[in-house]
Structure 1
Amino acid sequence: MSMQGRIGRAGGAKIKRALGVQAALEWAFRVEKAQLELPPPKDVVEEGFGFGLEYVLMQRGALGCKVDGGQHKMGSYTHADAEVIAATVAGMPDSLGGIRMAIRVAELARAGLTPDWMPGVVPRCVPVETKRNQHGERSTTIVVGTERVLTRGKWRTIEVLACPVTWRPHPEQIASAQRGYEDWWQALDWVRDGLMVGGMLREVEVTGAMPRARPWIHAAAPSSAS
């Protein structure tokens, strides 16, 4: 049974469904297909300017975000609590990423995903380039200098070769992925606080549960099992 189906009445009394903020977001955007309505551009001064799906798609295109099809449930009702959750996300402050972060939070929730912080990935020192021939695969080398050596009573000039190496993935790539996860976590924390304090949800109760902060620290910690 879906989360949508479990939110309802029992014996005439409303039962609030307790959800962590990530589960609440996934219910609103993935199950209920709530629309993410974003504020109009700052230079738009006309009162009553309409902004909806077209504006969201325009913003996603400008920000390089993936456009998903079928944002609305055709001919069906979107739960009022889902609309409140979507409206809260749309109000993401600039200090947390503003419109860009609001879209990212909604897209991840709609896909049921958590940001990829590259778990288990370790930078490795590898050759910049390799070549394959009949003898197998070998690292490409470059000449970095010359040396004179005495062999069999004669001085000879030989080339000094080196193999250029790099780190893959580069540590900065991993750090960037982790910063992206932290930014998303902070955004969810803000949404959670807003929904808990706002008191506007009628049938959903957002709990204090949050995804793990900086999970890479826990993943790197040594096991305490004896």
Structure 2
Amino acid sequence: MSMQGRIGRAGGTRVKRALGVQAALEWAFRVEKAQLELPLPKDVTEEGFGFGLEYVLMQRATLGCKVDGGQHKMGSYTHVDAEVIAATVAGMPDSLGGIRMAIRVAELARAGLTPDWMPSVVPRCVPVETRQNQHGVRAVTEVVGTERILSRGRWRTVEVLACPVTWRPHPEQIASARRGYHDWWLALDWVLDGLISGGMLRDIEVTDAMPKVQPWHSKQLRAIKP
């Protein structure tokens, strides 16, 4: 079956195409080119700017039919299920990042990407600064104090040198990347719940398959919602 979601019939029964939520998002935004219709600011009113999931529901109830979207595609057809998925993403609650997270989810889906959680990255202790000369690369040192030593029967004052070091990448960078991945995972989980509970998809069936919750744990199994 193609990515355009063509539906076959077996004995007169519609056969829906089963997709996990990440695959469904990529189909909607990458293949069907659905647009993320974000709500207008409270002090702005512009007819046709875009509507959330509630508006789609009301229009379907009023017309008694499926609504074909695609106003931004200049006449080309966007599958109605893709419009529903985009409308669901646009309703992302503030507790999960709101509009900012909705845009991130859509952009990643459109690019066919998963957030970079810095796989296989291990912090290394390295010099803060290095210099290169004819002898190679040397760590830059700095004076941290002085000491008096007895050398050849005479007391001498010598400088105590130390090499400042740091961690690269810093553990907080890795932690931040993985928090970002987890926030994205929570957003997908919310979209999945919305699509399943909404029951508005015509030709697509979103399964409960989810990306790994913490893929940096190599032994973790693929997460499936109960």
> Which blocks of at least 5 consecutive residues in structure 2 are unaligned?
51-71, 222-226
1:83 maps to which residue? 83
Which residue identity lines up with residue 8 of structure 2 in the other structure? R
> Deviation digits for residues 61-100 of structure 1, max 9, x if unmatched?
xxxxxxxxxxx65542000000000000000000000000
Task: Give, in whole Å, the separation in 2 of the partners of 1:219 and 1:38.
Answer: 38
Task: Give, in whole Å, the separation in 2 of the partners of 1:86 and 1:216.
Answer: 29
Matched, 1:24 2:40: no
1:8 maps to which residue? 7
1:161 maps to which residue? 161
Q: Matched residue pairs, number?
A: 200
Task: Give, in whole Å, the separation in 2 of the partners of 1:219 and 1:102.
Answer: 30
Task: Give, in whole Å, the separation in 1 of the partners of 2:48 and 2:41.
Answer: 11
Task: Give, in whole Å, the separation in 1 of the partners of 2:143 and 2:47.
Answer: 65
> Deviation digits for residues 7-39 of structure 1, max 9, x if unmatched?
223355422000000000000000000010001
Task: Give, in whole Å, the separation in 2 of the partners of 1:87 and 1:192.
Answer: 13
Task: Give, in whole Å, the separation in 2 of the partners of 1:24 and 1:220.
Answer: 23
CA contact (8 A) 1:32 1:73 kept: no
CA contact (8 A) 1:40 1:49 kept: no
- SS of the counterpart of 1:126? strand
- In the TM superposition, what is the alpha-carbon distance from 1:220 to its structure 2 partner? 8.8
Matched, 1:192 2:217: no
CA contact (8 A) 1:7 1:204 kept: no
CA contact (8 A) 2:212 2:220 kept: no
1:63 maps to which residue? none
**Displacement over 6 Å in runs of 4+:** none
- SS of the counterpart of 2:42? coil
Query: How does 1:65-76 map onto structure 2 within 5 Å?
Result: 73=73, 75-76=75-76
CA distance change for structure 1 residues 187 and 36 in 2, over 3 Å: closer, same or farther? Answer: same
1:177 maps to which residue? 177
> Deviation digits for residues 83-126 of structure 1, max 9, x if unmatched?
00000000000000000000000000000000000010000000
- After TM superposition, the score normalised by the length of structure 1 is 0.83
> Deviation digits for residues 147-177 of structure 1, max 9, x if unmatched?
0000011000101000010000000000000
Matched, 1:104 2:104: yes
1:67 maps to which residue? none
